[in-house]
């Protein structure tokens, strides 16, 4: 892997589909010195995603993933291209930050136990889409967020760190989501730091 630089700085590749607020939180942690890492590439399956703008504004290479015209699938050929690109840049850890496609074997084989994701629930509860809305609809008293290793399932890999967020009686899906996101922004950099420590 790319950790031969000697300064222990871990190289990150970030995949996202949306606004990139978690990528920004990772960047902030790097800039304030609490996370010894460098984001070397940001990739998005959505050419209009704000995460690409955030990357460019921070001087980070940013590219659109060619998903061969598929709306939701992440084709094997696209995954192999992504994996090769990340590998060529010496990426140690792949961070999914609001990435809406399921990662499968081509990427998992090239980065075994080196892909992590953040999910807005206390897994294994509420996997899948809009987990904050699922929690409110289910009348849950507690939710939160989870950083976990990615395997071939939907939000099923081993858990790294979790943060709990109470569901308040008057919570809407939106208000709960906003409070979960606040916790995500502290949790993700902390989890990356923990994983980096176990890799070195």
**In the structure encoding, which two tokens stand for residue 110, read together?**
């090239």
Which helix or strand (DSSP H or E) is residue 104 part of?
A: none
Q: Is-catalytic flag, 119?
A: yes
Buried b / exposed e across 176-197, counting CB within 10 Å, b at 16+? bbebbbebbbebbbbbbbebbe
Taking a C-beta distance cutoff of 8 angstroms, is the pair 110, 87 a contact?
yes
Cα four-point dihedral sign 128, 130, 133, 135: positive
**In the structure encoding, which two tokens stand for residue 145, read together?**
């967020």
Q: Which of 119, 148, 177, 185 is catalytic?
A: 119
List residues with catalytic annotation. Answer: 119
């Amino acid at each position: 892997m790319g950790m031969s630089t000697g300064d222990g700085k871990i190289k990150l590749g970030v995949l996202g589909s949306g606004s990139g607020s978690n990528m920004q939180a990772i960047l902030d942690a790097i800039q304030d010195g609490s996370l010894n890492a460098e984001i070397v590439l940001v990739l998005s399956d959505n050419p209009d995603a704000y995460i690409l703008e955030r990357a460019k504004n921070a001087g980070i290479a940013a590219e659109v993933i060619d998903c061969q015209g598929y709306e939701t699938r992440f084709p094997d050929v696209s995954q192999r291209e992504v994996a090769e690109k990340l590998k060529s840049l010496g990426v140690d850890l792949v961070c999914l930050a609001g990435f809406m496609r399921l990662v499968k074997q081509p990427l998992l084989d090239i980065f075994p136990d080196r892909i992590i994701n953040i999910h807005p629930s206390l897994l294994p509860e509420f996997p899948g889409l809009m987990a904050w809305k699922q929690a409110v609809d289910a009348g849950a008293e507690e939710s939160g967020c989870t950083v976990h290793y990615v395997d071939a399932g939907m939000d099923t890999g081993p858990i790294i760190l979790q943060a709990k967020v109470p569901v308040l009686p008057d919570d809407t899906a939106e208000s709960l989501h906003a409070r979960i996101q606040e916790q995500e922004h502290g949790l993700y950099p902390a989890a990356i730091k923990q994983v980096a420590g176990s890799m070195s």
